Amino acid sequence: MTDTLTRDKWDRAASTFDLMAGGGAEKRWKTAKQHLFSHMGDGTILFMALGTGLDIPVFPPGKTITAIDISPKMLHCAQPRIAAYDGSINALTMDVHAMDFPDQHFDQIFTSCTFCSVPNPVEGLRAIKRVLKPGGELFMFEHTGSQFFPFKLMMDIMTPLSRKVGPEMNRPTSANVSAAGFEITKIENIYLDVVKTIYARVPSSPPESSRDSPEQAS
Amino acid sequence: MPTGWYFILGDILSGVLAGVVAALCCVYLFDQQWPMFIAMFAAMLVGMVVAMVLALLLLMRFFGAMEVMIPTMLAGMWAGMIVGMRASMSSLATIDACLYGALIGLLTVLFCWLVNSRLQGVTSHD
């Protein structure tokens, strides 16, 4: 069932999203995102939370990508960028917690500033693990909480406010990736220990602990 | 330090502006009738919120997201805290509050550049 509170929040943000978050951030992050998205292969690709499509200009050309977002208004704003892409993007309105895709469907999943906003991040990551093939790869460009003072203190204080208008600022996303059962292969800091790229994959065979108690991690 | 003059100057402008605006708000909100510790804590929160709004509505669209949000909020936090504390101890002229804010904003930007130079590219868990 779609999370209507989250959908409505992002629907409200859609019309001003590019104005507030588009220009400066995309200029800053262009090189890092280009590098991350250069890992897009020829298999089945899912892009999570396409938003207004700010990432599309840095996608490598010629790919066939399925993209989802919870907000239909965000996807409406993304249409010109989808149309301009030199490849194929099939954009669908869908909640990460209630994806219609069959199990083990995708070879690769990409996220970009997604898991700061997914209401139940570990559950969301488990959902994308479900639709990834064994050995499938997860590539994330995310901002997370910091482990260093004074950044951690400030982000902890401000998160109750920031989540009203958009993302949470203190998410332990790489720990969440591990908790969801992924095997992290690389983490690289882009800015402080806050903006980072996370490379992970679904273990080819479930770890012993998962086989023993599949509901344990949370 | 970021690559390119646009972002270097943008970082400095963002930090200084956030510090000055937070300081201005706090010098008008707090005076000697406030107990110092309460003023310091309340001004810290005011400074952070003011800086966050400034970053969201104005600065992020030009100069980046977290690269703007974090230094400006830190500048707002420290500028608010120090100006709020000073204003509760003795009268503080507006121009002096602005100078405090600008200096704190600049120092905050330099601090963030320094920490970033240590952390950027490093593999870590959050």
Concatenate the DSSP letters of all residues of B36-91 into one string.
Answer: HHHHHHHHHHHHHHHHHHHIIIIIHHHH-SHHHHHHHHHHHHHHHHHHHHHHHHS-
Q: Which stretch, A16-20, A157-161, A176-180, has highest mean pLDDT?
A: A176-180
Q: Which of B57, B63, B70 sits opposite A151 (nearest CB)?
A: B70
Q: How many domains does chain A have?
A: 1
Residue B12, chain A, CB below 8 Å: the answer is: no
Cβ–Cβ below 8 Å for A28 and B62: no
pLDDT tens digits, residue range A117-150? 888 999 999 999 999 999 999 999 999 999 999 9
Q: Does B49 touch chain A (CB under 8 A)?
A: yes
Pick from A156-165, B18-27, B69-78: least confident:
A156-165
Interchain contact B57–A (C-beta under 8 A)? yes
Confidence of residue A5 (pLDDT cuts 50, 70, 90): confident
Residue identified by tokens 């602005």 is B98
User: Taking CB atoms and an 8 Å limit, are B115 and A192 in contact across chains?
Assistant: yes
Q: Quick check: A33 and A141 in contact, CB under 8 A?
A: yes
Range of the domain at A182: 4-205
Chain B environment of A189 (Cβ under 8 Å):
119-124
Predicted confidence at residue A6, as pLDDT, reads 82
Task: Supply the CATH number for residue A117's domain.
Answer: 3.40.50.150
Give a yes or no: residue A150 inside a domain: yes
Q: What pLDDT digit, counting tens, does each position of B33-80 carry? A: 999 999 999 999 999 999 999 998 899 889 988 999 999 999 999 999
The band of A207, judged by pLDDT with boundaries at 50, 70 and 90, is low
Q: Where are the domains of chain B?
A: 5-21+31-117
Cα distance from B122 to chain A (closest Cα, Å)?
6
Residue B124: band (very low, low, confident or very high) from pLDDT cuts 50, 70, 90 = low
- Residue A145: closest CA among chain B residues belongs to which residue? B126
Residue A137, strand partner residues: A108, A201
**Could you give the angle at the alpha carbon of A98 between the alpha carbons of A195 and A72, nearest 5°?**
70
Position A210 in a domain: no
Given a cut of 80, whether residue B9 has pLDDT beyond it is yes
- Tell me B122's DSSP state: -
Whether B6 and B68 have beta carbons less than 8 Å apart is answered as: no
Order of strands across the sheet that contains A132-143: A88-93, A64-69, A45-48, A106-112, A132-143, A195-201, A183-191
User: Nearest residue of A to residue B77 by CA position?
Assistant: A154
How confident is the model over A48-59, as a mean pLDDT? 94
pLDDT for A211 beyond 50: no
